[in-house]
Structure 1
Amino acid sequence: MTAEGLDGFAYEPACAHESEAARRHYWAVAIGLQAVDGLEVSPYVRRVADDYIAGARTLAETGELVRAHHAAGHDEASLEADLVGQRIAELLAASPFCLAPEMLPEIHRYLFQDLDASVYHPGEFKVERMVKQEDILNGDSVLYADPLAYEMALKGVFATEQAKSYGALAKDELAGFCHSIAFIWQIHPFYEGNTRTVAVFSALYLNQLGFDVSNEPFEHHARYFRDALVRAMYRNAPAGIFPDESFLVKFYENLIGRGAASFDREELICLPLFENPALLRNVDSAEALDTSKLA
């Protein structure tokens, strides 16, 4: 008996106590999150994931197989989805977490380490502010943070989170949690994969807070999740559109097993931007997806 083992129980690897349900959860979230960027994993990855879920292979073994599969040039169209999906499953299984600004680039570095560094820049911050047109905004973009503000903004939001003491995540607490997640997402510091990085961060954070995260919302409604983040951070005073975090709160309520709300993307559409495309704020109105009402 060791000095730390007065009760007679030995320390064991956490993976020795993984249930089949837990293994299924890791891969369901990993596969579902690829839909955030319109990606889909290959049938090959689904097969090796099924082997892992059934306990026939370890997660390390599936990783070796997936990376070897792509090193041989197979399923090029699914390269990003397969490799990032594998890394998401690994992170969810390991559950590393620290409530510090450095955690975000560490997650990004881990997720995108197998891809072209000149394109994905794993763990590196962008040097130029970008825009991204959104369907629900008729082609307008959220006003993402400028690179000069990345570190200050991350330090600020993490300091705010560190000062909190969450309980059962009742409605007000969950709203505060969602506000922080949306703010971190709006900083958008990475070249690619910001939404997947923030989603994994939030799942690890909720696990640290003692909550079981359902795979169903990410598995089947990943696109709604991204659109909810857009609505939580889009502001356009002339159009009468202001940040609305209620959609994101609804998503996270379902994520932690409360309620069974339906997810309809149409409720996220900002109609004033379609009724008057001239109101687009962060891109030229000529770039509206529907320009039929432009004078």
Structure 2
Amino acid sequence: MEKYNEFKYKVISETKDGKTKQLYWNIAFGLQDVDNIKPSEYMLQLAKENVEGKKTYTEVYKQIDSYYKESTHINSDEREADIVSARIVQMLSSPTFRFDYNTLKLYHKHLFDGVDILVSQKYIGNFRDYNITKSEPILDGDTVLYSDFSMIEDTLRYDFEEEKNQDYTEMSKEDILKRLATFTSRIWQVHPFGEGNTRTTALFIQKYITYLGLKDMNNELFKDNSKYFRNALVRANYINIPKKINENDEYLIKFFSNLLYKTDYQLDNADLDIKEK
């Protein structure tokens, strides 16, 4: 039986590489900026200790969880940023993945379970059963038209099936960028959840890109440009004929180009604001 030992499964353990750990925390903290929230100083210190190898991820998560369970004066925004960031780091650290629209639901549940981002916890990890709009500053207060709640599951099923049939091995770099931008834009436009859509989408897409073998990402972009990422998704899904504005994915393609091929396009939110045109 010894000759089969080399084929045994190996347990996935936390990386000891401080640079990689720092990258994951940077991404996680940066994504909170999408909703204008910041991690607490306590969370920043725990993350530093994790990067330095003084605490494991599990120890960090247990400490931050206990901290908020025992605290009598809670800043709800910091609590959300801290807990969701820790969970994002956990998911980024794991090489596991399944390409399925239900994975979006599971990611949403994992990130936001017990976090007060919605009126009711029943919507955490479940598709919304109501319709939504959202005033967007870059659209001069207008909103993207999101999918009707009754069509969420069918729309996602179609989008994922179409994506599953793509052959990235036959695509040029330009085609890969265009296709990833299209797929990301479509699932984000569905906006299947009441809150937390951009953070869930960003996590899913990073995991998907790694799954495709495109691992050499400059995903530091999510640290400093998470708002640009969201605003690029907004512009990719907004059309207003009277104002002569069409859906425009060029901004999202620039983001993915910098992410995957380390180009140096300037990612300036002012470029996406229709009032600046």
Normalising by structure 1, what TM-score? 0.86
The match for 1:256 is 260
The match for 2:27 is 29
Pairing 1:181–2:184 present: yes
Q: What letter corresponds to residue 92 of structure 1 in structure 2? A: L
The match for 2:96 is 96
- 1:185-223 CA-to-partner distances (Å, cap 9, x unmatched) read 000011110000000000100111122332321101111
Distance 2:211 2:4 in 1: 24
Q: CA deviation at 1:18?
A: 4.3
Aligned length, in residue pairs: 271
Contact 1:25–1:214 under 8 Å retained in 2:
no
- What is the Cα-based RMSD across aligned positions, in Å? 2.0
- Structure 2 residue ranges without an equivalent (≥5): none
Aligned with 2:220 (options 193, 196, 216): 216
Q: CA deviation at 1:157?
A: 0.5
Distance 2:87 2:109 in 1: 10
Task: Call closer, same or farther: CA 1:11–1:98 in 2, change over 3 Å.
Answer: closer
Distance 1:169 1:110 in 2: 35
Contact 2:25–2:47 under 8 Å retained in 1:
yes
Q: How does 1:41-120 map to 2 (within 5 A)?
A: 41-73=39-71, 75-76=74-75, 77-116=77-116, 118-119=119-120
Q: CA deviation at 1:245?
A: 0.6
The match for 1:144 is 146
Distance 1:172 1:192 in 2: 31
Distance 1:16 1:139 in 2: 44
Q: What letter corresponds to residue 52 of structure 1 in structure 2? A: N
The match for 2:197 is 194
Q: What letter corresponds to residue 193 of structure 1 in structure 2? A: G
Normalising by structure 2, what TM-score? 0.91
Q: What letter corresponds to residue 42 of structure 1 in structure 2? A: S
Task: Call closer, same or farther: CA 1:17–1:130 in 2, change over 3 Å.
Answer: closer
Choose 1 or 2 for highest CA Rg. Answer: 1
Contact 1:206–1:212 under 8 Å retained in 2:
no
- Structure 1 residue ranges without an equivalent (≥5): 276-295
Identity %: 33
Q: CA deviation at 1:23?
A: 1.0
